[in-house]
Structure 1
Amino acid sequence: MARITKGILGGFSGKVGTIVGANWRGKDIIRSVPTPNNRPPSEKQMLQQMKFKLVIGFLRPLGFIQKKYFGVNSGSKSRINLAVSYTISEAVQMVADTPELIYNKVLITKGDLTGFQNVVAAPQAGNKIKLTWEDNSVQGNAKGTDKVTVICYSKELDSFAIFEAVADRSALTTEVTLPAYYATKDMQVWAYLNALDESIVCNSSYLGTLKLI
């Protein structure tokens, strides 16, 4: 049974015969009821499903970041949609018929803020990672008050450690300490900058694979 939500001339939600009404992203839409398809997926479809599952699983913990900081909402595509589409098309490769992420092509954030200049990361004793970069706070739309976030990922543990707003761009260095269960693990590391008012972000920088010591 359908429900009229805005009076007799408004949109409706639910099923009426062979059509379904819904409100999606603030718009009333009507679509036909999908026809059941019992055919097994093709090899190409299965491959795409595998890629999608891999990417969705990897990006899910980053959703709260990418909702704010991945491109611009475009029509029916949210920032999350854009992040998934980008990652599938640009940051996945096939290895022995299995999709794998290409970490140096993964973007955590995507935006127009001026990024880091010569940023480098290195492991330090005690499960720490130290970042250093050069001062470019007068370049483009950069500001010394832009905030640095560091993101670390362990493939072995399938786990992220996220350190938000740990330093200003003007600090030129920061250090993060990972929990003890990451000890000796290989970590994929990224960092990004966002404006103090969170209005704009840079493309994230991939800083390599680091083994904690």
Structure 2
Amino acid sequence: MALLPGGILGGPNGTVGAVVTYQLNGQNVMRGKPRRSTKPPTLPQLQSRMEMGVLTLFIDKVKGFVKTGFSPLAMGTTRNYHNLAIGYNRSQGTTGNYPDIQIDFEHLMLSKGDLDMAANPMVQRVENGLKFTWDYPGSPVEGYGKDQVMMLAYSPRLNKSTFIDSGARREKKEDVLILLPAMLQEQLEVYISFVSNDRLNAADSLYLGTVGPEEEMG
């Protein structure tokens, strides 16, 4: 059954026969209902399904960061931040062969857009977290210095992340990501990006590598 939330002149919302209709980003979308296959999956199908599953589970752990980083690309389209992030990472965000498939942290993209990426970014352990620094060469582009830094640290062992998606302005050239106490002793995969002050654009994220536990400092 399909509903007409906007009346007879509005688009349907629901299922009619083999067609599913719904609204996404203010647009009416139609797709066919999925059908179960009676054939056993092929190895490429198993590979693709597991890649999708691994990516989806990971993105769910960092979805606030990814939502800020990919939502600008979804505006005015029939896609959302989640399937855009999956789409960009399907070919590069995982490594290995079925059934041993893992996240490829080096090539993962957690935000994407037209803003300038972080210039010469660096990260180091501090007492209660991670200190991020970057260069600020200045720019004639209006609002460039007001872009806000996005910082993320992910612990593969704990399967937990800590992030800030509205940190210091680009012109400040540094910020600190406060970590959960349990993450201070973990190896962390670390990323940096920027989002515009109006949240309408973002930069491509940059992978800053693996940062060792707190006791490895110095």
Q: Aligned partners of 2:130 and 2:191: how far apart in 1?
A: 11
2:111 to 106, 109, 116: 109
Give 1:194 shift.
Answer: 1.2
- The change in CA–CA distance for 1:96 and 1:9 in structure 2 (over 3 A counts) is closer
Q: Which runs of 5+ in 2 are unaligned?
A: none
Give 1:68 shift.
Answer: 4.1
Q: Aligned partners of 1:56 and 1:155: how far apart in 2?
A: 15
Q: Aligned partners of 1:75 and 1:166: how far apart in 2?
A: 28
Q: Counterpart of 1:98 in structure 2: which amino acid?
A: D
- TM-score normalised over the length of structure 1: 0.84
Specify the alignment match of 2:50 in structure 1. Answer: 50
Specify the alignment match of 2:28 in structure 1. Answer: 27
Q: Aligned partners of 1:199 and 1:10: how far apart in 2?
A: 28
Contact residue 29 and residue 78 of structure 2 kept, 8 A = no
Give 1:142 shift.
Answer: 6.2
Larger mean CA deviation between 153-162 and 91-100 belongs to 91-100
Q: What is the SS of the residue equivalent to 1:183?
A: helix
Contact residue 95 and residue 102 of structure 2 kept, 8 A = yes
Contact residue 113 and residue 141 of structure 1 kept, 8 A = no
Q: Which runs of 5+ in 1 are unaligned?
A: none
Larger mean CA deviation between 186-195 and 66-75 belongs to 66-75
- The change in CA–CA distance for 1:158 and 1:137 in structure 2 (over 3 A counts) is same
- TM-score normalised over the length of structure 2: 0.82
Q: Does 1:41 align with 2:41?
A: yes
> Which 4+ runs in 1 deviate beyond 6 A?
none
Q: Percent same amino acid among aligned pairs?
A: 19
Larger Rg: 1
Q: Counterpart of 1:178 in structure 2: which amino acid?
A: L
Q: What is the SS of the residue equivalent to 1:56?
A: helix
Q: How does 1:132-151 map to 2 (within 5 A)?
A: 132-138=133-139, 143-151=144-152
Q: Aligned partners of 2:54 and 2:133: how far apart in 1?
A: 32
Q: Counterpart of 1:120 in structure 2: which amino acid?
A: M
Larger mean CA deviation between 2-11 and 113-122 belongs to 2-11
Give 1:4 shift.
Answer: 5.4
Q: Counterpart of 1:60 in structure 2: which amino acid?
A: D
Q: Aligned partners of 2:135 and 2:192: how far apart in 1?
A: 14
